[in-house]
């Protein structure tokens, strides 16, 4: 997709069927926000709704609001709304805890199921540059079950799936490169080898079409603060294929964190744990009502998306934004030290584009100062030492996320122009851009 003038982009915005969705968000004047893949923008409805919960439900009705305002139902109620975005059924997905905690639950459950049917299967396979928390949790589970975690480059995974593999654990959209796994194809390959497939949807839920049932996935987790716009540290979600929750019901199998709200009758206050049926057993502690409320506001935005064409329309715009950005950056910044690491084929990428640069941190800080807000991800220094065939693993990356709910074509145009100016002028070389905060 090539548009040679800013006017072309303004014309695309004027004709965009999703354009009105931007008005549902608070976007600071002058900001080009391309970091919704790390933290979604604030929905306009959120502040008033959270204040209502604080002043009326908590301030006036106090503890009565667990029943009167339905606080106790938030995990399932918000879960059902997210389920519609990821191809899950009603009552099959709950909002609870963090992505890391939920991954621990489902990975432990998967290994427990496999240890009963395939005790010789003692390998967890994942992608080498999967998001670190996923790998850290998998390391813990591997130690707990006496298993081995094997990390492979993406193109080596298929040939590794064998009889000794218990679980294939992947993130649908790679957080560094934006590469999109074919969930259905990879799940089929895992099942053919006897393995279970666990999917992290943190970088895909709300940005690309997801069909957990269509792919016949086994378990899935995801976060609420990226494309779902639930706010910093928003609660995460967890899904299990009904065939697994039904088996867990029959065999009275537990997920490892048997907290009180995952009990079959939590307000009986019994001293012995008895798991709730279905997905409810994956709830653990008391939900954070204020955080759940903010997340529900973010998820409710997608009701307007359905009226504007649904996830398919979002995907069309996401691809168009990515194609435009890649084309403009490569045209304007040729010979300036950038290398595209995101798949050029739109069918193979999520809703972001990443470029490698040897001084990526400084370049991004210079862009942010100019109002173009993307982010930076450091490379894996071990990749170069061990001779990795994928050079992107060791590269420092500039990441640009495209949230079709509020990103405009002119935003993409402006970002490419500012990137060109930062690189051509050498503005990024200023020493102040080398200073790093705790969050990079």
Positions marked active-site: 131, 200, 225-226, 399
3 state SS for the chain: CCCCCHHHHHHHHHHCCCHHHHHHEECCCCCEECCCCCCCCEEHHHHHHHHHHHHHHHCCCHHHHHHHCCHHHHHHHHHHHHHHHHCCCCCCEEECCCHHHHHHHHHHHHHHHHHHHCCCCCEEEEECCCCHHHHHHHHHHHHHHCCEEEEECHHHHHHHCCCCEEEEEEECECCCCCEECCHHHHHHHHHHCCCEEEEECCCCCCCCCCCHHHHCCCEEEECCCCCCCCCCCCCCEEEECHHHHHHHHHHCCCCCCCCHHHECCHHHCCCCCCECCHHHHHCCCCCCHHHHHHHHHHHHHHHHHHHCCHHHHHHHHHHHHHHHHHHHHHHHCCCCCCEECCCCCHHHECCEEEEECCCHHHHHHHHHHCCEECEEECCCHHHHHCCCCCHHHHCCEEEEECCCCCCCHHHHHHHHHHHHHHHHHCHHHCHHHHCCCCCC
């Amino acid at each position: 997709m090539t548009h040679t003038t800013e006017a072309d982009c303004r014309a695309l915005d004027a004709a965009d069927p999703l354009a009105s969705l931007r008005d549902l968000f608070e976007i600071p004047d002058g900001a080009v926000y391309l970091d919704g893949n790390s933290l979604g923008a604030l929905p306009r409805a959120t502040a008033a709704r959270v204040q209502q919960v604080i002043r009326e439900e908590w301030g006036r009705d106090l503890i009565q609001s667990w029943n009167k305002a339905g606080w106790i139902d938030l995990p399932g109620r918000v879960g059902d709304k997210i389920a519609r975005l990821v191809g899950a059924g009603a009552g099959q997905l709950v909002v609870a805890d963090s992505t890391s905690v939920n991954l621990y639950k489902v990975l432990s459950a998967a290994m427990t199921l496999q240890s009963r049917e395939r005790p010789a299967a003692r390998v967890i396979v994942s992608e080498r540059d999967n998001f670190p928390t996923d790998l850290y949790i998998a390391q813990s589970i591997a130690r707990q079950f006496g298993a081995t975690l094997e990390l492979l480059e993406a193109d080596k995974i298929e040939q590794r799936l064998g009889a000794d593999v218990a679980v294939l654990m992947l993130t649908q959209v790679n957080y560094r490169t934006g590469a999109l796994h074919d969930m259905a194809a990879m799940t089929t390959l895992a099942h053919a080898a006897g393995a279970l497939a666990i999917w992290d949807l943190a970088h895909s839920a709300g940005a690309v079409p997801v069909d957990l049932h269509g792919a016949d996935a086994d378990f899935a987790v995801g976060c609420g603060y990226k494309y779902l716009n639930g706010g910093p540290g928003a609660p995460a979600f967890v899904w299990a294929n009904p065939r697994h929750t039904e088996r867990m019901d029959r065999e009275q199998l537990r997920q490892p964190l048997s907290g009180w709200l995952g009990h079959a009758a939590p307000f009986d206050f019994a001293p012995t744990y008895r798991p709730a049926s279905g997905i409810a057993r994956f709830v653990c502690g008391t939900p954070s009502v204020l955080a759940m409320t903010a997340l529900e506001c973010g998820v409710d935005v997608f009701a307007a998306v359905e009226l504007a064409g649904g996830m398919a329309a979002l995907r069309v715009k996401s691809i168009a934004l990515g194609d435009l950005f890649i084309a403009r950056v490569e045209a304007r910044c040729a010979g300036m030290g950038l290398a595209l690491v995101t798949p050029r084929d739109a069918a193979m990428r999520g809703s972001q584009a990443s470029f490698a640069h040897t001084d990526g941190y400084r370049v991004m800080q210079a862009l942010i100062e100019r109002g173009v807000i993307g982010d930076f991800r450091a490379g894996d220094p071990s990749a170069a030492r061990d001779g990795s065939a994928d050079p992107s693993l060791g590269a420092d990356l500039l990441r640009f996320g495209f949230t079709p709910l509020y990103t405009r074509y002119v935003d993409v145009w402006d970002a490419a122009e500012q990137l060109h100016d930062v690189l051509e002028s050498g503005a990024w070389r200023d020493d102040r851009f080398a200073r790093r905060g705790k969050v990079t």
